[in-house]
Amino acid sequence: MTGKLTIYTDGGARGNPGPAAVGVVIYGSGERPIRQISEYIGNATNNQAEYKALIRGLNEAALLDAKELLCFLDSELVVRQLIGKYKVKEPELKTLIAEVLRLSNKFLRVDFKHVLRAKNKLADKLVNEALDKAGS
């Protein structure tokens, strides 16, 4: 698989911090997802989970030999941090954003876009499935 992929990610925690999970949906050129990831990640804040979901998506896209990525996140805060409009103060988030930027360098182009939660339902569903399976 090469070319352009579209990734929808979501991360969530029940409690903040609390039990957390990530959901990732990756599309190629068709309407059906080529990958769906639902993983429990342990204890995290909502923002940490959002970044970890994106990192999981970027890693998967690298395995698929993607060249360009369009990443949709329903966290406007995280998107604005990634594009440099908001400063990142929390040390843990600085580490996670550095990992996102390091992984982004594997691709020719990566764009981060905010999407309304209503347009990110599948990734959100995957987060909740992972949390439910973990008994959280």
pTM score, whole prediction: 0.97
- In the chain, the number of structural domains is 1
Token representation of residue 104? 């982004």
Single-letter residue type at 107:
F
> Which DSSP letter does residue 77 get?
H
Structural domain including 76 reads 4-133
Q: What is the pLDDT of residue 136?
A: 79
Q: What is the pLDDT of residue 2?
A: 66
The CATH number linked to 18 is 3.30.420.10
Kindly report the CA angle at 114 between 113 and 115, in degrees rounded to 5?
Answer: 115
Closest by Cα among 90, 128, 93, 94 to 12? 128
In tens digits, what is the pLDDT along the chain, a chain of 136 residues? 569 999 999 999 999 999 999 999 999 998 999 999 999 999 999 999 999 999 999 999 999 999 999 999 999 999 999 999 999 999 999 999 999 999 999 999 999 999 999 999 999 999 999 999 999 7
